């Protein structure tokens, strides 16, 4: 019945939402940030363990839909071992891809989110954890929301 949704709920996404990786609190951690989607009330907390400019470990906890959980799971996997600059570059590519479907450069496994732009109501779900990651990298313990993302 839901074949047409295969570009939204790809196998990788379903797998990561059913068995999210790095789904745990991290204490102590170098920095963390809260992300909240005011549309649905979903929230997640993202934790980073930094070694200088490099992410040694990343994890998250929280509640959310399949898309937002899978996004946080894949993103924390991706972030490990990356530098701040790597992550900023990837954020720019992934943000563009999630919103428009255009893939710039190699986004690796994160390419599974290339079909989300066709579901405008779900774009924020995929982007939430990225905003939390960028906020954590800025060292801010403050909360970010997806409010600035236009539907």
Partner 1 sequence: MSTPHHPDWSTLREDFPILHQQVHGKPLVYFDNAATSQKPRSVIRSLVHYYEHDNSNVHRGIHELSNRATAGFEAARVRTAKFINAASADEIIFTRGTTESINLVANTWGTKHLKTGDVILLTELEHHSNLVPWQMLAKRTGARLVYVPVNGDEGLLDLSQLDALLTPQVKLFAMVHISNSMGTVNPVAEMCAQARQRGITTLVDGAQSAGHLPVDVQAIGCDFFAFSGHKICGPTGIGVLWGRTAVLEAMPPWQGGGEMILSVGYHKTEYKHAPHRFEAGTPDISGPIGLHAAMDYLDAIGRENIWRHDQDLATYAYEQLAALDGIRLFGPQTGRAGLVSFLLNDVHAHDVVTLADQAGVALRGGHHCTQPLMHKLGVESTARASFYFYNTRAEVDRLVAVVKEIQKFFRG
Gap between the Cα atoms of 20 and 35, Å rounded: 17
As measured in angstroms, the least distance from the Cβ of 11 to partner 1 is 11
Q: Is the Cα torsion angle 45, 139, 39, 107 positive or negative in sign? A: negative
Q: Which is nearer to partner 1, 66 or 111 (CB)?
A: 66
Q: Which is nearer to partner 1, 69 or 131 (CB)?
A: 69
As measured in angstroms, the least distance from the Cβ of 7 to partner 1 is 12
As measured in angstroms, the least distance from the Cβ of 73 to partner 1 is 14
As measured in angstroms, the least distance from the Cβ of 18 to partner 1 is 8
Q: Which is nearer to partner 1, 40 or 111 (CB)?
A: 40
Q: Binding residues for partner 1, per CB under 8 A? A: 1-2, 4-5, 8-9, 14, 18, 39-43, 63-67, 119, 121-122, 125
As measured in angstroms, the least distance from the Cβ of 111 to partner 1 is 20
Q: Which is nearer to partner 1, 132 or 137 (CB)?
A: 132
Q: Which is nearer to partner 1, 63 or 83 (CB)?
A: 63
Distances (CA, A) of 8 to 46, 51, 90: 23, 35, 20
Q: Name the nearest CA neighbour of 14 among 52, 67, 63.
A: 67
Q: Name the nearest CA neighbour of 111 among 133, 130, 93.
A: 93
Q: Name the nearest CA neighbour of 67 among 133, 129, 150, 147.
A: 129
């Amino acid at each position: 019945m839901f074949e047409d949704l295969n570009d939204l709920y790809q196998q990788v996404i379903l797998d990561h939402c059913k068995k999210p990786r790095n789904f745990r609190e991290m204490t102590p951690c170098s920095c963390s940030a809260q992300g909240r989607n005011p549309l649905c009330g979903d929230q997640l907390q993202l934790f980073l363990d930094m070694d200088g400019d490099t992410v040694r470990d990343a994890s998250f906890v929280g509640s959310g839909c399949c898309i937002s959980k899978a996004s946080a799971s894949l993103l924390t996997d991706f972030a490990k071992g990356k530098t701040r600059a790597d992550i900023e570059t990837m954020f720019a590519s992934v943000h563009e891809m999630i919103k428009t479907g255009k893939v710039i450069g190699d986004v690796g496994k994160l390419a599974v989110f290339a079909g989300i732009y066709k579901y405008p109501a779900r774009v924020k779900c995929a982007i939430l954890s990225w905003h939390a990651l960028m906020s954590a990298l800025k060292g801010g313990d403050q909360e970010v929301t997806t409010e600035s993302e236009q539907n």
